[in-house]
Structure 1
C-alpha cells in the first residue's frame, strides 16, 4: 500500500465525509502528520491478515499512517535510487499512487508540513521536473492541456467531499 488509511481503509470517501464531516476527512487524508484512527489487529482490513506480509510481525505492520509515514518510506528511495540516476543523466519515470507522489513532491520542492495539505496532484497526468547540476529543481510542469490539468486537480481536491 502507498499509505494505510487505518479505520478508513476501503471506505467510500464521500460516505466517510458525510459520517465524520468533510473537514475531519480532509485532515485525515491531506494533513502531514495526522493519521486516521488505527485498525485493530483482528480487523480483516489490517495488513496482518494479508499473506504478502506473513513474514512480518504484527507490530511491524502499520495500523494507520499519515503522509509523514509515506515520506519516511519515499525519501530514502529518492536518495538511493532516483536522485543518483537523474544525477548521472538518466531519464527516470516514476509511476506511483497520489500519496507517494505527494511525498516525493513535498521533499523535492521543500513544501512545508502545513502547505502540503493543499497540493493536488492530478491523477494520470505526467509531471516533469528539470534539475540543475546540484539536483535542485529548476522548474516542473504537467504535460497536457492546461484546462484539463486544472480540471483534474479540482477533481482530486473534491475527493472526500460529502455527496449532495
Structure 2
C-alpha cells in the first residue's frame, strides 16, 4: 500500500522574527536548512523511497524539499509545485509582529484569528507592501485577501483529490513539503478530525510525518520520525 510523508518546512526568517508570514515569501534560516537536512536523513533512515514530490510555490517549502531530497539521494525525483499547497493567507496580519499584535488587539482576539477553524483575520488592504498579486508566480491566480483554516482546506482539497490522491492510487509513494496550515488541512481530511479539534493539532517543523495508507487512502499507521519532537497525532479513522 502507498506511503505518504508530510514535511513542514524548516524555520523561516519570519518564523525567527515572530511575524505572521502567510503567503509572503520568507526564506529559510540556517536553522531551517538544518531542519530540512535532518528531515531528509530521517526519511532515508526509515527506508522511505518516494517516487514523487509535491510542494507549494513558496521558497521555504521548495528549498525544504530540495534539501531533504538531496540528503536522501533522490534529488532526481519528479516534483510538482502548486499554489494550492501554499500557507494560509494571514490577510492584514501579514508582516506584523505576533507579540505586538496581541498587545494591540488583545490575546483573545489574536487567538481567534490564529486558531479558530472558520474565522479569518482581517483582509489585506489593497496596495499593501505584502500584496503578492503582481508576483509572476501567481499570474492568473485569484489570490485570497485572507483565509481561515476552513478556507485553506477548501482550496487544498481539489488539488489533493485530482492530483495527489490519484498518484497515490496508482502506487506512488509521495513526499509533500509544505506549511503548517496546508498540512494541517490535509491531516484534518485524512484523519477525519472534527472542526473544533483540528486547531489543536500541531505540525512540528522539519519532522516528517510518515503515513501508511490503506484502501480508500485511509491511514492505517502514522508516526513522526523524530520521536523527541513529536506532537500528539489524531486517532486513526
TM-score, shorter chain, exceeding 0.5? yes
> Which stretches in structure 1 are left out of the alignment for 5+ residues?
154-164
Equivalent residue number for residue 41 of structure 1 = 126
Q: How does 1:81-120 map to 2 (within 5 A)?
A: 81-120=163-202
Instruction: Find the aligned partners of 1:87 and 1:135 in 2 and give their Cα distance.
Output: 8
Aligned to 2:223: 141
Q: Quick check: 1:28 aligned with 2:110?
A: no
Alpha-carbon distance in 1 for matches of 2:103, 2:211: 37
Q: Does structure 1 retain, via aligned residues, the 8 Å contact 2:207–2:229?
A: no
Output the CA distance in 2 between the equivalents of 1:48 and 1:124: 29
Distance 1:119 1:49 in 2: 33
Q: So what's the TM-score if we normalise by structure 1?
A: 0.79
CA RMSD of aligned residues (A): 1.9
Q: Secondary structure at the match of 2:184?
A: helix
Q: Can you list the C-alpha shifts for 1:117-152, whole angstroms capped at 9, x where unaligned?
A: 1111111110011111222111211001x23324xx
Aligned position for 1:156: none
Distance 2:169 2:140 in 1: 35
2:211 aligns to what SS in structure 1? Answer: strand
Shift of 1:53: 4.0
Deviation beyond 6 Å, 4+ runs, structure 1:
none
The C-alpha deviation readout for 1:54-105, integer Å capped at 9, x for no partner, is 545xxx3321111112111211111112212222221100000111101111
Q: Relative to total residues, which structure has the larger helix share, 1 or 2? A: 1
Is there any run of 5+ residues in structure 2 with no aligned partner, and where?
Answer: 1-22, 24-86, 233-237
The two structures have a TM-score, normalised by structure 2, of 0.57
Matches of 1:120 and 1:148, distance apart in 2: 11
Partner SS, residue 129 of structure 1: strand
Q: What is the distance in 2 between the residues matched to 1:25 and 1:43?
A: 20
- Judging by fraction of residues, say which structure has more strand: 2
Partner Cα distance (1:52, 1:93) in 2: 22
- Whether contact under 8 Å (1:31, 1:116) holds in the other structure is no
Partner of residue 11, structure 2: none
CA distance in 1, matches of 2:137, 2:129: 14
